[in-house]
Copies of this chain bind each other. A is one copy, B any other.
Amino acid sequence: MNQGPIPAADAINRLIQELSKLPGIGPKSAQRITYYLLRAPHEQTGLLSDTIREVKQKITLCSTCYNVTDVDPCPLCRSEQRDHSTVCVVEQPQDILAIEHTGIYHGLYHVLHGAISPTEGVGSGDVRIRELTDRLQDGTIQEVILATNTNLEGEQTALYLNHVISPTGVRVTRLAHGLPFGTELEYADDTTLTRAIEGRQKL
């Protein structure tokens, strides 16, 4: 086996290397995508390059719910069609897409940007829990639905949130355990997720 550098042009090797850093993309996939891009029309590759740049320039976090957005507050938080008395708490922005895709939920969201994980040194102050309890101050929110992942970190986070929020009198519910333990919310199918929303239980 040749231990030297692969004899491709530098720019090609650099692109393979950068693509390999993306989640789910191994060296072989990165190579395949690179050679695909070499054959693709300039319009397509230019658009891809620009959109990567644009997404970083335009996207910020909503100062209310901390979802990714290009306007602040985000369209969900400013919508009069949404039920502002219910907040669904998720770990990551992409979890919102999964829940919205079911079409069954019409409240607002709160993105923690992580979960409490003592083993990884992530405490309650490292995720946006204080920002959530601040939102409960004015009495508008009457129910908090905990939609953290059904793994150890997600469960710990849900228990902690229940511990903190329940004393304020706000109703705290948790997605029903139709989801098998260890599932990441982002990849749940619509039916499972719909049942979990419908069957949510008061903690």
Residues of A contacting B: mostly? helix
Looking at A50-58, A127-135, A149-157, the stretch in contact with chain B turns out to be A50-58
Q: Is B35 within 8 A of A2, CB to CB?
A: no
List the number of copies, as a whole number: 2
- Cβ contact of A32, chosen from B7, B31, B186, cutoff 8 A: B186
The residue in chain B whose Cβ has the minimal distance to the Cβ of A5 is B100
Q: Is A6 within 8 A of B59, CB to CB?
A: no
For residues 27 through 61 of chain A, which have their beta carbon under 8 Å from a beta carbon of chain B? 28-29, 31-38, 42, 44-56, 58-59
The residue in chain B whose Cβ has the minimal distance to the Cβ of A100 is B7
A89-124 interface mask toward B, CB cutoff 8 Å, 1 = contact, 0 = none?
000111011001111000000000000000000000
Judge if A161 is at the interface, Cβ distance under 8 Å.
no
Q: Is A23 within 8 A of B36, CB to CB?
A: yes
Q: Is B22 within 8 A of A36, CB to CB?
A: yes
Which residues of the partner chain B approach A75 to less than 8 Å between Cβ atoms? 7
Q: Is B2 within 8 A of A102, CB to CB?
A: yes
Q: Is A11 within 8 A of B59, CB to CB?
A: yes
Q: Is A102 within 8 A of B1, CB to CB?
A: yes
Q: Nearest Cβ in chain B — how far from A83, in angstroms?
A: 15
Q: Known contacts being A6-B97, A10-B70, is A49 close to B53, with CB within 8 Å?
A: yes
The residue in chain B whose Cβ has the minimal distance to the Cβ of A187 is B28
Which residues of the partner chain B approach A49 to less than 8 Å between Cβ atoms? 49-50, 52-53
Q: Is B102 within 8 A of A32, CB to CB?
A: no
Q: Is A18 within 8 A of B97, CB to CB?
A: no
Complex formed: what's the CA distance from A24 to B25 in Å? Answer: 9
| Nearest 9 Cβ contacts at the A-B interface | A2-B103, A9-B70, A49-B52, A35-B94, A11-B55, A18-B48, A49-B53, A15-B51, A49-B49
A-B contact pairs, 14 of them (CB 8 A): A6-B101, A9-B59, A15-B55, A22-B37, A23-B32, A23-B33, A24-B29, A31-B94, A37-B55, A45-B52, A45-B53, A46-B53, A48-B52, A52-B52
